[in-house]
Structure 1
Amino acid sequence: MAELIGPILDVIKFIGRHASKYLKFQRKFTEYVDDFNQAQADLRAKEADFQQQLKDEHHFGKMPKQEVQRWFKKVEQKLGHAQHVEDKISKGKYLFRSCLGKLVDEATQAMKEVHAEGNFSGGLVVNDPSAIAVNLLTPEVVGATNFRDEIFQYLMGDAVESIGVWGMGGIGKTTIMKDVHNRLLKESKFRKLIWVTVSQVFDIRKLQKDIASQLERNLSDDESTIVCAGKLSEMLKGQMRYVLILDDVWRSFSLEDVGILEPTTNNGCKLVLTTRSERVVESMGFKKVKVHCFSMEEAMNLFFSKVGQDMLPNPTLESLMKLAVRECDGLPLAVVTLAGCMRGKADPRMWENAIDELRGSIRNIHDMEDKVYGCLKFSYDRLQGIDQDCLLYCALYPEDHEIYKDEIIEKWMEEGLIDEMGSRKAMEGSSHSILQKLEENCLLERVQVRPCIKMHDLVRDMALHITRKRFLVKAGMQLEELPNEEEWGKDLETVSLMHNSISTIPKTMNCLKFPKLTTLLLSWNPLKEIPESFFEYFPNLKLLDLSYTHLESLPNSISSLEKLTVLLLMGCWCLKSLPCLSKLQALKKLDLGHSGIEKIPQGLEMLVNLRYLNLKRTSHLTGIPAGTLSKLCRLQYLSMHSKLRSAEELRELNKLEVFYGCFHNVGGLNTFASKRKTLYKFSILVCSKIDSFRPLTSSNFVRFKEIKIDVGDEIILPYGIEELSLLECKGMRSINEIGLRDATALKGCELRGCSELEFVFPSKCDQLQTLESLNLSEFESHS
């Protein structure tokens, strides 16, 4: 009996404890409900505070922390459950208060726990890695305040999803949208801003790829535009709230065909395009925002911001400036162009003459585009002849193409636009001066991120109009074959078909020869073969650019181009050999860099007028026959992949200014450096091994790699050396054992893996005064 009583008493005690708890819920039910309501109110208040804080912190390029997002989800769940409990309270009966009180208490404790978890150090947001937050570089915006504010308000509001900003060329549409874009960066409404320049030649695939690129994604070239449209649409859906700005649209198109989502209030997306055509905006159903010309006051403010306030003390000059600006009819591009042209001109007679010329250019012309052309033409006419030719040459590139400054300078020299000055250094200096002048006159635009220039659409249009009989320009037009024969005028001097998709040239062309044509640009085309008869049509060709084509060979008829001065075959990886070049006695430049040639072209040693020879990264080239280089006595530029068998050949090249190459040993370097005058640019590797060699790109650079340098060995460095590198060299105890006495311009020094080095510089060393960086690595410690 006793054995049963114990367990029974335990059960009674257990039931009693729970019974008392349930009686407590019954007795203090009102207190539990009050606590419940307070916990619910506290949690809602904290949630509201965090929502406001998140709104303040969640600017463009930021995103909520994951722990914050999880906390809000928990809050949503607990408050939802609390509402369910609240409904039960309102319907609950007195007899069931004990059970209901337990439910209320559990809900209360859960809300208090979530409330306590809401503690986030360092704010509520972090950087959003997927957001593209880049301030677009633009000059200080003067005027157009109304248009900028109108567009900004449309984007920030909910009434308008698609906006078409239209106006004539040069009115400032792009500048306005850059300013609006940068203002949006400071707001939290949008998660991503996407900027794409469309340009006159509309190409769906290019537009799709450009948008995808802004999203840091890629689209395959192998898939159709329909498939790409579907993929792009999914990419954009994943961005949530965004603004897509399409700059410089010339014709209407289907958003669906491209894969651009239709902006709606629900998806929170906005779409803006800029165009010169009102019809484009209307046909696409966008809200029209027309950009008008500046008022006279705005135009003067813009003009003075560009021409400089220092020219104002003279009242007569100021009144003449106003007359000149008035001729620009408030067009920003024309005003800026005029200011660039007349900057620094303080003679009133020059301004009077300028006004007369401006009025003559636009007399009886009412169309605004023609007025812009008149202003641009006026600026062009103020240039010297050589500057004009250099500007016109830039129009040979595709529209909106960013041209590297070094590249365009090289092109000017190839074309013979820069006067022969006896040295490349002098010619490059002259070219830089011209480039700067064209930039300052606003005829070329600087590209901020890279060392490039661009040509404004209207300036390019003007250039093509000026050269319409002499130039045939179809660059970047997605051509798959040569232009129609009727487009090849008999007076053509220059043809540019670069950056197209031309893969074949017809065997015959039903047209006459072109005796005036001197320049033919076919670079960046998938061209595989040139018919034997093709060059017969261009008997006076001087410059031929076939760079970055898929050519496997050249026709023998190229040897008949006896007036050819420039032959460019850079990047022709499929090209294994060339015909005999001995007849090309006028040739001054031969560029075979990055090509697939396996041996030096026959007859190269006979090209006694050659100034420029590029054999950089010709990894298949077996070598340069002895005696070849020494005969090219006028060579100014030499870049090689192969190591020289004998540096003695270079001793004959008295005009050499630029050298990129490699020597087998220190003796070869000494032979070269001891007899050389100061080089303008050089990059030299001294290495005994015959491993793959890529010429160093740094100017005035010498690198020793895996070379033994014994005490007492004489080493002669070229004058003007700025960078010195020694990698895994043996025998050397101090860098002073290298001939540093002439290294008066040394800025950087790298020493790596030189195991026998005891100290770098002696205590007294003049080179320490110019040295800016010293890199030491991979050394063994000496105990």
Structure 2
Amino acid sequence: MDFVLNKIDKHLDNHMSFDQYRKDLKRKLKELNGLKEDIESTMSIELRPRKKLKTEVQIWLKNVERINGEVRDLDGRIDESNALTRRFRAEDVLASIREVEELITQQGKFHGGLVVDNLQWIGQVLTTSSLSGEAVKACIEKIWQCLMDDEVSKIGVWGMAGVGKTSIVKLINNQLLEERGKFDIVIWITVSKEMSIAKLQKDIASKIGVEFCGDEDETTRAGMLFETLLRKSRFVMILDDLWEKVSLERIGIPEPSVGSKLVLTTRSSDVCRQMGCGVIKVERLTEEEAWKLFLEKVGGDILNIPGVEPIARSIAKHCAGLPLGIITIASCMKGIDDICEWRNALKELSLRQESVNGFEDEVFQQLQFSYDRLKDPKLQQCFLSCALYPEDDVIKEGGLIQLWIAEGLVEEMDSMQAEFDRGRAIMNRLISNCLLEVFTQIGDRRFVKMHDLLRDMALHIAKSRFLVKAGMMLEKPPAVQEWSMELEKVSLMENRRLRTPYPLEVLPPKCPRLTTLLLHKCGIAGIPEGFFDHMDALKTLDLSQNPIESLPHSISNLKNLTSLLLAYCDCLENVPSLSNLQVLKNLDLQRTKIKQIPRGMENLVSLEYLNLDDCRNLTEIPNGILSRLSCLQDLNVGRTLISGKEVGGLKKLENLEGRFHNWHNLNMYLQGQAFHGRDEPRQYTIYVGGADWFARALYDARKAIFVRDCNIHTYPIMLPPAIEKLKIMDCNLDGSADSEYPLFSSFILFSPNSFSSLMSLEIYGCRNMKKLFSLHCVPLNLYRLIVDKCEELEEIIASEGGMVTMEFRLPQLRELELRRLPELKSICSVDSVLVCDSLEEIWVKDCSKLQRMGLNPPQLDNAPPSSASLSIRIRMGPKEWWESVEWDAKPLLEPFTTII
């Protein structure tokens, strides 16, 4: 800003006309108001429910309004002045120009959007499917009218299974979040058939910010919820899928009064009546509405197949006006152009219809049609295994696919990635047939859900083969008689107070067919010694996230076990011998307290996945173990030391995270890779040297190497060509004479194909280093370059004798930080320039000998007269150095420069 004032003061000295100052002010004010319009346009997009404007944005907008008013007043006073006194207003004009300039600059600091979460607002937008039919529209209107009517406090929405109750109320939930005039809080709770007061209380508490310590009884929890909700009077409580009357008092929900509402969905009008609700029934679709929905989901192309339309209409009619059945069956028939298959499908549905008794069975028969159409038994088993998760659970796609792989439901392939891709294809098949739905997606990670009716159908199909009591807040294990000889899969996951999976006072269960046992998050502190004695077929055992200290020795005899999952068992110190587990493929001991590798691990010749990350008591894997695990594809040992030579010999490794002792060990690993002639892992994070320094928040690359407290030896090393991030901290170039040579080219080799993927390079505290890059060894695709506290560094790009003026280009560089480099004399050689067309942030501090920047930031060649069009952040210091440094771009960049 001083730059602007100095410029104007100079104009004053040159007797610039007073009218010119006013024109400058008006031009700047017009520019500021243009920015204000842009901000307000962005606000209209970002300012959604549960969001509010950042305080700094609110203040900025108020200041813009204020300065507009002040300039209008100033104009009025100037117009009323005579020719003599007008010039005395110049001081006011200059002050206004300065403030307008400051506001223009402040606008560039609104990083990360204009809004933040409104913590006073409670509610969650839910995924919805398209709804159709006049009856549905009428139902939505009735519910909305009741919500807006202060005389109605409880609303009961009922209808048969699959008719669309939940979809309708989800839409209402989202509409309430849009319309903020009447309610501040919308709480959605899924109740389900296996209801428990404790689970309802826990779910409500998580939504309204109440924390239970775990020791409260039901009455105390109810009081805590009641007190909190009473203070939040403008709320809507939605209880979805209520099967029986429930006491609001026992749960802790205040009786709805003026300002609050209760909405519930149920399959029984009696439940509505018993809860004292106004009743709204969801009717089935008419025959024509059903056909329209069927045609929308199956695709209008079927009408081009001769003879198919009447058959398709009959199939749609068999769905009895139930949207869930229509969508599921239509999705199943999508893309089929053989009229014989259409006739066969109609025949199957007709036969099922004859055996139906009751509405729920009718829906099951429709849904099972889609299950049967999967044909492939393994595909069907993949679908059934989704029912092992708690009702209405959001399931991580990756975890579910890993379960399928462990169960042998995905065919074996030559790599984990290929198997995962095959699992993803199965997932897509289930989703396209509407047997699963995508709940949300973050990047390439998906989370899926299973409709409660489809889950009920899956458990109905599995019958006595499955024992599933997942997420039911159990405090006692299933009764002895429930552990039957026919069981194939047992899921008791997410029952945090279970403590033990089986009554301690009786003999261990006999389940010779059991292949899957899921017990994670059950609060299990101990397992009876002989618990696994009669589970010879067990393949998958998940005991993760339990406070268990030791495992029974009977685990050692599970010869068919392929997956042993013990992650986040924070108290686990002892693992029995694994020698007999010859077919074990997955072993997850992440974040356990083990102090040494389990006995017999070297015999796990089939092991493909090993996770020892964050095992803080485990310092090193002894030599001779990893080299025998030749099938390893995914190895994650976190900070634990491993042998570079042994890991370099693992020919199938796809993912690696681990620590090598020093630079030499890293070199041994890289040479091992080259010797075996294989590509580098698809993903890796390699630490070299010190163990206690890395922060995972920095790991924003798929292929990264972090080096600390190492001697970087005189012999050169060729890093992996596809490396994306390299961070070197507190290292020493081995030999002071060699420090005259650049780090890149002398210690780290460079070839024309090297480092084309290197995006981030960070060097901190590297001793004896005087040059970073040689002339022909600059990674061209760098996104970030940080060099800090390298006290002997003299040049970033080393100069060479007889060199002519050159132009270096780093077209992708966005962040450049040079800090605490007291000997730095140049970024590049004299008369050369570094062109960075994408640069967004420059930070130079405590580089006192740097007298010429030699840096050409973006947009300077074609920059318009107004520097405000640039978008760049600059931090420079100290002030004395900044005033003396030579940089052609400095005058233009002054408004964006902060002195530090």
1:779 and 2:827 aligned: no
CA distance in 1, matches of 2:231, 2:509: 57
Is contact 1:138-1:175 (8 Å) kept? yes
| SS across alignment from 2:314 | helix
1:319 and 2:310 aligned: yes
CA distance in 2, matches of 1:709, 1:341: 63
* Cα gap change, 1:558 to 1:425, in 2 (>3 Å): same
Deviation at 1:629, TM superposition (A): 1.0
Between 177-186 and 144-153, the greater mean CA deviation after superposition: 177-186
CA distance in 1, matches of 2:124, 2:532: 49
Is contact 1:678-1:719 (8 Å) kept? no
Indicate the residue corresponding to 1:152 in structure 2.
144
Is contact 2:649-2:672 (8 Å) kept? no
* Cα gap change, 1:729 to 1:175, in 2 (>3 Å): farther
Counterpart among 103, 125, 137 of residue 127 in structure 2: 137
* Cα gap change, 1:473 to 1:710, in 2 (>3 Å): closer
Amino acid at match of 1:721: I
Amino acid at match of 1:379: S
| SS across alignment from 2:191 | strand
Amino acid at match of 1:169: A
CA distance in 1, matches of 2:813, 2:340: 54
Q: Number of paired residues?
A: 665
Counterpart among 225, 228, 231 of residue 238 in structure 1: 231
Is contact 1:519-1:543 (8 Å) kept? yes
CA distance in 1, matches of 2:562, 2:355: 46
Deviation at 1:512, TM superposition (A): 7.0
Deviation at 1:666, TM superposition (A): 2.6
Amino acid at match of 2:290: A
Indicate the residue corresponding to 2:718 in structure 1.
716
Counterpart among 548, 553, 566 of residue 551 in structure 1: 548
CA distance in 2, matches of 1:694, 1:62: 30
Cα deviation, 1:223-272, whole Å, max 9, x if unaligned, reads 232223223222222223222211122221111122212122xx321110
Cα deviation, 1:370-412, whole Å, max 9, x if unaligned, reads 2221121111112122211111111111111111111111111
Counterpart among 133, 154, 157 of residue 162 in structure 1: 154
Between 630-639 and 684-693, the greater mean CA deviation after superposition: 684-693
Counterpart among 764, 768, 776 of residue 781 in structure 2: 768
Is contact 1:61-1:192 (8 Å) kept? no
Indicate the residue corresponding to 2:498 in structure 1.
502
Indicate the residue corresponding to 1:489 in structure 2.
484
| SS across alignment from 2:573 | coil
Indicate the residue corresponding to 1:652 in structure 2.
649
Deviation at 1:513, TM superposition (A): 3.1
CA distance in 2, matches of 1:762, 1:246: 68
CA distance in 1, matches of 2:213, 2:542: 29
Amino acid at match of 2:171: D
Is contact 2:199-2:473 (8 Å) kept? no
CA distance in 1, matches of 2:327, 2:152: 33
* Cα gap change, 1:133 to 1:605, in 2 (>3 Å): closer
* TM norm structure 2: 0.69
CA distance in 2, matches of 1:461, 1:347: 32
Indicate the residue corresponding to 1:19 in structure 2.
none
Is contact 1:508-1:533 (8 Å) kept? no
| SS across alignment from 2:388 | coil
CA distance in 2, matches of 1:773, 1:557: 58
Indicate the residue corresponding to 2:803 in structure 1.
none
CA distance in 2, matches of 1:59, 1:656: 46
* Cα gap change, 1:213 to 1:524, in 2 (>3 Å): closer
Indicate the residue corresponding to 1:70 in structure 2.
none
Structure index of larger Rg: 1
Indicate the residue corresponding to 1:339 in structure 2.
330
Deviation at 1:174, TM superposition (A): 1.3
| SS across alignment from 1:534 | coil
CA distance in 2, matches of 1:767, 1:705: 22
| SS across alignment from 2:340 | helix
1:294 and 2:285 aligned: yes
Is contact 2:759-2:781 (8 Å) kept? no
CA distance in 1, matches of 2:239, 2:712: 65
Gaps in structure 2 of 5+ consecutive residues: 1-46, 56-115, 734-738, 784-810, 825-848, 850-900
CA distance in 1, matches of 2:569, 2:552: 15
Q: CA RMSD in A?
A: 3.1
| SS across alignment from 1:401 | coil
1:191 and 2:184 aligned: yes
Indicate the residue corresponding to 2:470 in structure 1.
475
1:182 and 2:179 aligned: no
Deviation at 1:328, TM superposition (A): 0.6
Cα deviation, 1:263-311, whole Å, max 9, x if unaligned, reads 22xx321110111222221211111111111112222232233233344
CA distance in 2, matches of 1:328, 1:359: 11
Between 742-751 and 442-451, the greater mean CA deviation after superposition: 742-751
Amino acid at match of 1:540: A
CA distance in 2, matches of 1:141, 1:735: 61
Amino acid at match of 1:259: G
The 5-angstrom pairing of residues 66-145 of structure 1 reads 129-132=119-122, 134-143=124-133, 144-145=136-137
1:224 and 2:224 aligned: no
* Cα gap change, 1:219 to 1:515, in 2 (>3 Å): closer
Indicate the residue corresponding to 2:274 in structure 1.
283
Amino acid at match of 1:701: K
Indicate the residue corresponding to 1:640 in structure 2.
637
Between 564-573 and 770-779, the greater mean CA deviation after superposition: 770-779
Is contact 2:466-2:489 (8 Å) kept? yes
Deviation at 1:613, TM superposition (A): 1.4
* Cα gap change, 1:544 to 1:613, in 2 (>3 Å): same
CA distance in 2, matches of 1:762, 1:234: 70
| SS across alignment from 1:247 | strand
Indicate the residue corresponding to 2:89 in structure 1.
none
CA distance in 2, matches of 1:484, 1:478: 15
Is contact 1:706-1:730 (8 Å) kept? no
Is contact 2:390-2:470 (8 Å) kept? yes
CA distance in 2, matches of 1:155, 1:137: 21
1:348 and 2:349 aligned: no
Is contact 1:582-1:604 (8 Å) kept? yes
Deviation at 1:207, TM superposition (A): 2.1
| SS across alignment from 2:236 | strand
CA distance in 2, matches of 1:444, 1:761: 56
Deviation at 1:734, TM superposition (A): 6.0
CA distance in 2, matches of 1:687, 1:680: 17
| SS across alignment from 2:262 | strand
CA distance in 2, matches of 1:761, 1:376: 67
Indicate the residue corresponding to 2:688 in structure 1.
687
1:378 and 2:376 aligned: no
1:517 and 2:514 aligned: yes
Between 284-293 and 193-202, the greater mean CA deviation after superposition: 193-202
Between 731-740 and 397-406, the greater mean CA deviation after superposition: 731-740
CA distance in 1, matches of 2:244, 2:758: 54
CA distance in 1, matches of 2:593, 2:679: 32
Deviation at 1:173, TM superposition (A): 1.0
CA distance in 2, matches of 1:660, 1:380: 40
Indicate the residue corresponding to 1:97 in structure 2.
none
Between 308-317 and 618-627, the greater mean CA deviation after superposition: 308-317
* Cα gap change, 1:555 to 1:711, in 2 (>3 Å): closer
CA distance in 2, matches of 1:310, 1:765: 56
CA distance in 2, matches of 1:520, 1:507: 18
CA distance in 1, matches of 2:385, 2:451: 14
CA distance in 1, matches of 2:277, 2:643: 71
Indicate the residue corresponding to 2:294 in structure 1.
303
CA distance in 1, matches of 2:356, 2:711: 77
Amino acid at match of 1:495: V
* TM norm structure 1: 0.78
CA distance in 1, matches of 2:437, 2:396: 12
CA distance in 1, matches of 2:535, 2:393: 28
1:460 and 2:462 aligned: no
Is contact 2:556-2:581 (8 Å) kept? yes
1:593 and 2:567 aligned: no
Indicate the residue corresponding to 1:703 in structure 2.
705
Deviation at 1:750, TM superposition (A): 4.1
